[in-house]
Structure 1
Amino acid sequence: MYYLFRFLSFWPLRLLHALGGLLGWLVWSVSLNYRTRFRANVAQAGLPFALARPAIAEAGRFVAELPKLWFRPASQSSLTDVCVQGQQHVEQAFAGGKGVIFFGPHCGSFELGPQALAELYGPITAIYRPARKPWLAKLEAIARDRAQLTVVPASLSGIRLMHKTLKANRAVALLTDQVPPLGMGVWAPFFGQAAYTMTLAARLALQSGAVLLPVSCERRPKGQGFVLKVWPAVGLPESADKSDMLDAVTRINQAIEAIVLSQPDQYLWGYARYKTPRKETV
């Protein structure tokens, strides 16, 4: 698989996206569970299916563009095909001297987002959960670790490093709409339904005073690049007791909802967002 990814990394982005679109529809056609979950999540968000239908192909395009993003030469800028919006929010956040927490959903090119942010505002520490397949986990670790981007696994040591990073008035990045293991989240509303939601971003912000900034990285049509947008900061309660934690997580979910509603054609609607969390120790 390594050599296949390496080979595909030389393809033009437009061709990769064309291939990915076909891949997305292939998965849709063969998986009843995927189609059912996709439609249920769209309905839960209160959207007509027609608005989300393009996301079937976009899911495939996300996978197809990974070789290009993961094997990009260190000397090549990730910002070549990226239009950046909302930089004033980042400047205001860093001015507070408490660090910045970039967060976003499984929407658009969420793999490119941290690379671009690291080049603009690095060094950045990003936390992720390694893939279960050994070959993919190894490939992820190699491809994601770049000069201004440090990727750490979702472990106690990784969380400690994120605290240290924020204390130094630097930035961290994470996806907040992925279901965490049992004990690492709370049940909070997401499009009107309770979803087990990670508390990590809220805890980091409440304990460090860092600013929470939502981020999206929208894929333009026909391989014409991407739009990286930094949204206004999310305000949180001042304390970190149990009730305020739920409030904080709910506000983060609301920011994610706003991003999804702005680009429903690029959200991973097939993700099992409302599933029961698995048991796991960190």
Structure 2
Amino acid sequence: MTTLLQRLGWRGEALAWDAYQGMFRAMGLERASVAGSALLRRIGPLSGAHHVARVNMRIAFPDAHERELDSLLDAMWDNFGRVLGEFPNMDRFDMSVRSQQVTVEGAEILEDIGRSKAPTVLFSGHFANWEMIGATLAQHLKTCRITYRHANNPIIDRRIIAQRQAYGVRILTPKGGSGAKEMLAALQAGNPVGLMNDQKMNDGIAAPFFGRPAMTASGPARLAQRYDAPLVPMSVRRVEGTRFHVKVHEPLDTPEGSGNEAILQTVTRINEFIEARILEAPEQWFWVHRRFEKPLYKKPK
């Protein structure tokens, strides 16, 4: 049961959200992307997330000089700031087949999935502007059910859902128990599902990631195993400014058999895919996830 104070807090947060959306929307796509970059490059380094990102980068690049990490962190905030500015303008991207703004490599794989009417599990990570993954799936697989992390504020959550629906992402499933049931029902009906698989999940399984054990969601691996479904990776790269290249990769080579060992092997291969994409364009991954053990992120006194 919500209290009056909580409801008032939600409305205050929603007003701030609407102000952010309205400001960047009024700028138009290109200007909003640049403005978001300028803003986050200034305020990002002042946040606690900056420290988390540096710790993660040090794990991934143990031999890097501090100046190299500084440069990479600045580039990360540039990309994330652009995502911040682009999100209110996502419906302004040209997602058509002949688009010069968003090109898709491997679209035929998605078309084959659509024709097969067989359960398929697609996954990706927080690369470049990760909203492009959902937008691409919505263009090619109308029945694909895509998971998302719902906002704690229900007013903002409804705003985000409506915004994603405006650029074609119409079948959204919140993470959690009820969402898991929806994903199972979708796969059982022969529909594809899409998930992000690069965040820490405390009740996941420990799998190698940049040479260290990292708690990783096993959901995609378990869904693929349960329904004997292919596990299809996707990635997106920012080419320049507001131009993107989305790639649909060939299905992962997953181990035969079932059980926990097969799940661990599959999750490890998912992490290997995510790691390889990060190394291709490290400035375009969202490094602020606490992927590793908590003590690593404690600031020295």
TM range (shorter): 0.7 to 0.9
What stretches of structure 2 of length at least 5 have no aligned partner?
Answer: 1-16, 295-301
- Cα distance between partner residues in 2 of 1:222 and 1:200: 34
| Separation in structure 1 between the aligned mates of residue 117 and residue 253 of structure 2, nearest angstrom | 16
Alignment-derived partner of residue 247 in structure 2: 229
Is 2:82 aligned against 1:66? no
Runs of 4+ in 1 over 4 A off after TM superposition: 50-53, 91-97
Deviations 1:86-106 (A, max 9, x none): 224435556765322221111
Counterpart in the other structure of 2:228: 209
**Correspondence for 1:36:** 51
Residue 53 of structure 1 deviates from its aligned partner by 4.3
Instruction: Give CA deviations for 1:143-186 in whole Å, capped at 9, x if unaligned.
Output: 22465631011133322222222233322111101223x43x10
Equivalent position amino acid for 1:226 in 2: F
| Larger Rg, first or second structure (1 or 2) | 2
Q: Which residue of 2 is the match for residue 280 of structure 1?
A: none
Displacement of 1:131: 1.8
Q: Which letter maps to 1:168? A: A
The answer to whether 1:218 aligns with 2:233 is no
% of aligned pairs identical?
27
State whether structure 2 residue 285 is matched by structure 1 residue 264: no
Q: Return the letter of the residue paired with 1:28.
A: G
CA distance in 1 between partners of 2:153 and 2:169 (Å)? 26
For 1:181-236, what per-residue CA distance to the aligned partner results, in whole angstroms no more than 9, with x for missing partners? x43x101111111111001100110001111111112223233x211111221122
Q: TM-score of the superposition, structure 2-length normalised? A: 0.80
Matched residue, 1:161: 182
Amino acid at match of 1:206: Q
The match for 1:120 among 111, 115, 140 is 140
**Structure 2 letter corresponding to 1:259:** R
Corresponding letter in the other structure for 1:103: F
Amino acid at match of 1:87: A
Question: Is the aligned partner of 1:16 residue 2:26?
Answer: no
Matching residue of 2:107:
87
- Within the candidate set 84, 95, 115, 1:78 is matched to 95
Q: Distance in 1 between matches of 2:106 and 2:73?
A: 25
User: Structure 1, unaligned stretches of length 5 or more?
Assistant: 277-282
Number of residue equivalences: 268
Paired residue secondary structure (1:24): helix
Q: Which has the higher helix share?
A: 2
Q: What TM-score, normalized to structure 1?
A: 0.85
- CA separation of 1:116 and 1:94: change in aligned 2, threshold 3 A: closer
Looking at structure 2, the residues matched to 179 and 132 of structure 1 have their Cα atoms a distance apart, in angstroms, of: 18
